[in-house]
Amino acid sequence: MRRIVMAVLAMLLAGGSLVAQQQQQQQQQQQPPQPGEVKPNFSGTWRMVREKSDFGAMTMPDSVLRTIDHKGVTINVHTEQESKGRKSSTDLLYYTDGRESSNEADGKGATYHCFWDGGTLVIRMTTATKKGSAEIREERWTLEPDGNTLTMTSHISIGGFMANFKMVCARVTSK
């Protein structure tokens, strides 16, 4: 009996520790940068560099031009893309302080949650496909020290399909 009680107590303590650890990680993700902590500003117009980008199993667009307006914790992104003669554009809003934002792209709504991982911006998107499958995407933005190269890596999961890709962009203009 004593062994059972000790085992149950150990499981409760381990579970409580895990919950506390998850809560601490969420709080860290939702906190804005601390004073003196420098985070990159992604403002500017960025053009995809095809030779340095890798879309893996996905079709690489012919061109991508992304205009980013990054002020404080708010990031507005306007993207113009051309693929196989078809042009499209999207406008997305992100908050880097842990607040969720809702955007519509490709005719479907999605929820976005952004946070900093050191000097890297992490953007997590969740939505449902037209067939009802869950689509989850994690995008990570890093800016080279010279400020002229923005690398965006993505991991996408749709049902049982998973893909990774990398889009490297060169600065066209500063904002």
Tokens of 110: 């999605």
Mean pLDDT score, 139-154: 96
Tell whether the torsion through CA atoms of 63, 54, 154 and 169 is positive or negative: negative
CA distance 54 to 87: 20
Mean pLDDT score, 14-24: 40
Which residue would you say has higher pLDDT here, 35 or 57? Answer: 57
Percent of the chain residues topping a pLDDT of 70: 77
Give the pLDDT score at 36: 55
Give the pLDDT score at 27: 43
Write the pLDDT tens digit of every residue in 91-106: 999 999 989 999 987 6
Write the pLDDT tens digit of every residue in 59-92: 999 999 999 999 999 999 999 999 999 999 999 9
CA distance 25 to 126: 19
**Which ranges of the chain does DSSP label H, i.e. alpha helix?**
2-30
